[in-house]
Structure 1
Amino acid sequence: MTPTQLFEAAAEGNLDFIRKHKEHYRDKNERGWTVLHFAARYGQLEVATFLSSQAGCDILAVNNEGKTAADVAEFWGHDKVSKVLKPPTPSVSNTQILEKDTSDSNNTLVSNFSQNITNFFAGSFLNRLSRYRNDYSILQRLAHSPQSKFILFSKLNPLFDKSNDNSVYLASYSEVASLVDMIYGENKNIEKAVSKDEPILVFLGVDERNAKGEEGVAYWALDVTPRGKCQESLEDLTKEFESRGLDFAPTLPKAFKIDMRLASVLAQARAMVDWNKRNAFCPGCGRVTASAEGGHKRVCPVPKEDESCISHNGGVHNFTYPRTDPVIIVCIVHPTEDKILLGRQKSWPGKMFSCIAGFVEAGESIEEAVRREAIEETGIVVDRVSYHSSQPWPFPNSLMFGFIAEAVTTDIKLEDKELESAVWFTRSEVLASLKGNKDSPFAMPAANAIAYKLVKTWAFEWSRVISAKI
């Protein structure tokens, strides 16, 4: 018997074969997959249930991409398998707010909190360890660690591995040593003048699933866009990667096809590289800014006694920190009929409709932004608002707050012309679209988008959500 035969048996659901080879439950293939990973990938619930109960099987084992079997099952939509493989929930701490359910004769403790919702581009497995950002010696050690992983970008396009299901390629220090050493080299003078050709390198955090702190695996974002004095060497580096079956490609839609937790790290990495590129110059005097705090702050290098830069005057204006723009997105419910309101922009593909969305403005709460965007884009007046969940959207730096809201009026008026059309869709029409019915009058956004999750919640779970009014 070879491990490959066992992996094939798990993928096919051959439990009888698997029972006979307990000594191989911890074996891994070249990609770090165990027999449990294969059962999870192909949704073999009976096999996964059996293996998770065996002493020789480690449900927390991770593959080369840092994914547990539960992560694999969740990514491929095998929810029942994922639930079986999730580690036991820790016991409730005394800091949680609990109450007795008087309707239960056993006085069961019931949490006041609803179930957590984690959308795509969220749910990172990294501990960001912000306390490390001001310690150059720690960052220097982590940057040179042979187990550190670097997500590379060229013109904001991440490096994907075509030979590994187009997953994000995680480079090692040895592959990018010359660039890393420009920031964290042994002979680096951190007081030297700032150079516009210095690479963008951002400390993202540490994967502590197998080891804590500096013993864990550090993740970094590194921009390798050819430019300046480094252009020729960076062009050579790009060609070398491409010769190995790697490819710098736009983040979307490829990111939606990789593991959700790795996608969240990719989202953080892209947002931070983009922010550093956009803030290369001081807004006060135009000088090249210096990277600080592991890439999470940029400062004007002009000495404080030099009054030629206004960024030094009044508080901490000499510091530039990463920005996040809040955006609301809302599924609007008809006040009297079983319908929801969706809109369409002219540039969208096919017959796609989605939820109403827009940026939160200065001096405005997110609830007020929901009501304003609804009336500006569709002429619909919205009253009660229920918060659902949020989704990072690093294109370049948004955070989307999702809501389901109740309309007061029903007459649609597209006065600001931002939308091509807006329509009240019935529940049957929505269900047809969610099921991918080609005869549906409209198409939904991608299933990983928060708009899809909002509509799906209304269609299947609205009775549970309406108790969470803001």
Structure 2
Amino acid sequence: MSSNIFEAAASGDLEYFQQNKSNVSIKNDRGWTALHFAARYGQLEIVEFLMKQPDCDLLATNSEGKTASQMAEFWGFDTIAKLLAPEGAEKQEEQGVITKGSPYPPNRNNFFAGSPLNRYSWYRTEKDILRRLVQSPRSNYLLLNGLDPLFDSNQSLYFAKYDQVKSIVDKIVPEQESVKAEQDILLVFLGIDEKEGISEEGQIYWALDVTPVGTYKQEFENLVEGFKSKNLEFAPALPKAFTIDRGIASILAQARAMVDWNTRNLHCPACGRKTISDEAGHKRRCPNVDCISQKGVHNFAYPRTDPVIIVGIVHPTEDKLLLGRQKRWPGRMYSCIAGFVEAGESIEETVRRESYEEAGIKVDRVLYHSSQPWPFPNSLMFGFIAEAVTTDIKLEDKELESAVWFTREEVLAALNQESGSRFTMPPGNAIAHQLIKTWANDGEWRVKNKPSNAKM
């Protein structure tokens, strides 16, 4: 049974509350009530129980000024958010807006986002704290072999404990401040899940690269073979990542992107000297005092994330959405137009450029929808819905095999996986799917016989 009311709320321990019905409105040092924790972690049964208690305050706010309803909404637990919302704050479905006087759209949390971790970035320079965390029994190591994570026989992500990897990680735990950490081992501090406790009392997460290379190649091989002998498997993240828990998937996204960035930046781009991992895997620096990179702050390399836009393009006069298809995609799948942000352009400009380059369509107004980390290897997708001002399709850069204006009925048929639908959708966990779904289902996108200046 849980040890306190907050842990019970976060973990869904109903038995604890049935035996401890008093003080459900008490707050922790961050102003969180049990209801906040239950809402944050999607514990519907606990929320329903707490709401029946006489001293339960639905409007109580934490130190960030958030109610339990707002916490649930932020983390994507829509059923709980609606249940806890005060009267007059319900969503107006056919318009897709919130009727509580706010100009802001609803929060959207795409797959690979919504991490449960507090990243504790200020710990990255604290060697004493990191030393304790590395060797803590609460530490969980996400292992990557050539960027392939470790899965168990149930196809769940497997996290090793300290005792299983101590032969490796102990080599980079300096006994004294002056001892340089071993640079042939890549270990990244990811953060702490505080559902069970704050700071070091929580569940600690690390990413450890066990690819058999470098000085300790043989030891890495032994470690990898040892895990394989226990019916565990290193396997490609796609498509397995889409079948695991969303919170765990977000940890995998962070781990995979960080390990990939580190392994791609092993040498200084200025002098070629091998770089040194710093700040628990979140910096790399050149040790060559004569290198040109030593001037200014250029001696440090920081984790790279490549910005990418993805856009659903709306027809200016008809109830249609433009989707494209690449030849390498499966079956009859069509998706949104996408492309990398280039130097010296805004993300809105990228939307307009990519729309024209890939489909020959000029777009004007651009509306932001949501974003999605995409750890293959380390991109951040910015999702948009944009209004076209021309309609003639021209596959300018030959990146697409085909581009089509699909009617709402055709899009809905694909969304509902109806037999005989004209095309198939991208996976439900992809931001492209969510963009298309938003256009198809939200009433605000329906054509309302507006006058047009579109150029046919």
Residue 228 of structure 1 aligns to a residue whose secondary structure is: coil
Q: What CA distance in whole angstroms lies between the structure 1 residues aligned with 2:446 and 2:276?
A: 47
Query: Match for residue 381 of structure 2?
Result: 400
Q: 1:214 Cα shift? A: 2.2
Q: Confirm or deny: 8 A CA contact 2:356 2:396 kept in the other structure.
A: no
Q: What CA distance in whole angstroms lies between the structure 1 residues aligned with 2:47 and 2:373?
A: 33
Q: TM-score, normalised by structure 2?
A: 0.77
Give the alignment of 1:299-378 within 5 angstroms. Answer: 299-303=285-289, 307=290, 309-313=291-295, 315-378=296-359
Query: Match for residue 436 of structure 1?
Result: 417
Q: 1:110 Cα shift? A: 2.6
Residue 238 of structure 2 aligns to a residue whose secondary structure is: coil
Query: Match for residue 131 of structure 2?
Result: 140
Query: Match for residue 221 of structure 1?
Result: 207
Query: Match for residue 145 of structure 2?
Result: 154
Q: What CA distance in whole angstroms lies between the structure 2 residues aligned with 1:157 and 1:465?
A: 43
Residue 185 of structure 2 aligns to a residue whose secondary structure is: coil
Residue 255 of structure 1 aligns to a residue whose secondary structure is: helix
Give the alignment of 1:183-198 within 5 angstroms. Answer: 183-185=172-174, 187=175, 190-192=178-180, 198=184
Q: 1:239 Cα shift? A: 1.5
Q: Confirm or deny: 8 A CA contact 1:280 1:289 kept in the other structure.
A: yes
Q: Confirm or deny: 8 A CA contact 2:319 2:446 kept in the other structure.
A: no
1:452 is the counterpart of 2:441: no
Q: What CA distance in whole angstroms lies between the structure 2 residues aligned with 1:232 and 1:327?
A: 39
Give the alignment of 1:72-83 within 5 angstroms. Answer: 83=79
Match of 1:182 among 162, 171, 195: 171
Deviations 1:26-79 (A, max 9, x none): xxxxxxxxxxxxxxxxxxx9x888667688xxxxxxxxxxxxxxxxx99xxxx9
Q: Confirm or deny: 8 A CA contact 2:314 2:322 kept in the other structure.
A: yes
Bigger mean CA offset, 215-224 vs 269-278: 215-224
Query: Match for residue 206 of structure 1?
Result: 192
Deviations 1:116-141 (A, max 9, x none): 10100000000111111111111111
Alpha carbons of structure 1 residues 377 and 464: separation in structure 2 relative to 1, 3 Å: closer
Query: Match for residue 280 of structure 2?
Result: 294
Query: Match for residue 282 of structure 1?
Result: 268
Give the alignment of 1:232-311 within 5 angstroms. Answer: 232-303=218-289, 307=290, 309-311=291-293
Q: Percent identity?
A: 60
RMSD over aligned Cα, in angstroms?
3.1
Residue 222 of structure 2 aligns to a residue whose secondary structure is: helix
Alpha carbons of structure 1 residues 88 and 220: separation in structure 2 relative to 1, 3 Å: farther
Q: What CA distance in whole angstroms lies between the structure 2 residues aligned with 1:465 and 1:411?
A: 21
Letter in 2 for 1:246: L
Deviations 1:77-104 (A, max 9, x none): xx9x9724999579xxxxxxx9xxxxxx
Query: Match for residue 424 of structure 1?
Result: 405
Q: 1:438 Cα shift? A: 3.2
Alpha carbons of structure 1 residues 349 and 357: separation in structure 2 relative to 1, 3 Å: same
Query: Match for residue 171 of structure 1?
Result: 160
Q: Confirm or deny: 8 A CA contact 1:182 1:188 kept in the other structure.
A: no
Give the alignment of 1:113-124 within 5 angstroms. Answer: 113-124=104-115
Q: TM-score, normalised by structure 1?
A: 0.75
Letter in 2 for 1:331: G
Letter in 2 for 1:125: P
Q: Confirm or deny: 8 A CA contact 2:439 2:445 kept in the other structure.
A: no
Query: Match for residue 42 of structure 1?
Result: none
Residue 387 of structure 1 aligns to a residue whose secondary structure is: strand
Q: Confirm or deny: 8 A CA contact 1:48 1:85 kept in the other structure.
A: no
Residue 312 of structure 2 aligns to a residue whose secondary structure is: strand
Letter in 2 for 1:459: A
Letter in 1 for 2:303: P
Q: What CA distance in whole angstroms lies between the structure 2 residues aligned with 1:179 and 1:357?
A: 41
Q: Confirm or deny: 8 A CA contact 1:48 1:84 kept in the other structure.
A: no
Alpha carbons of structure 1 residues 318 and 274: separation in structure 2 relative to 1, 3 Å: same
Residue 208 of structure 2 aligns to a residue whose secondary structure is: strand
Give the alignment of 1:49-64 within 5 angstroms. Answer: none
Letter in 2 for 1:282: C
Query: Match for residue 64 of structure 2?
Result: none
Alpha carbons of structure 1 residues 109 and 350: separation in structure 2 relative to 1, 3 Å: closer
Q: What CA distance in whole angstroms lies between the structure 2 residues aligned with 1:170 and 1:450?
A: 27
Gaps of 5+ in 2: 1-13, 20-43, 54-71, 90-98, 448-456
Alpha carbons of structure 1 residues 179 and 343: separation in structure 2 relative to 1, 3 Å: same
Q: What CA distance in whole angstroms lies between the structure 2 residues aligned with 1:465 and 1:269?
A: 40
Letter in 1 for 2:279: E
State the number of aligned residues.
382
Alpha carbons of structure 1 residues 172 and 465: separation in structure 2 relative to 1, 3 Å: farther
Alpha carbons of structure 1 residues 462 and 221: separation in structure 2 relative to 1, 3 Å: farther
Q: What CA distance in whole angstroms lies between the structure 1 residues aligned with 2:257 and 2:248?
A: 14
Deviations 1:180-224 (A, max 9, x none): 111115x366543x755x211000011112211222221100001
Residue 202 of structure 1 aligns to a residue whose secondary structure is: strand
Letter in 1 for 2:294: H
Q: What CA distance in whole angstroms lies between the structure 1 residues aligned with 2:199 and 2:340?
A: 37
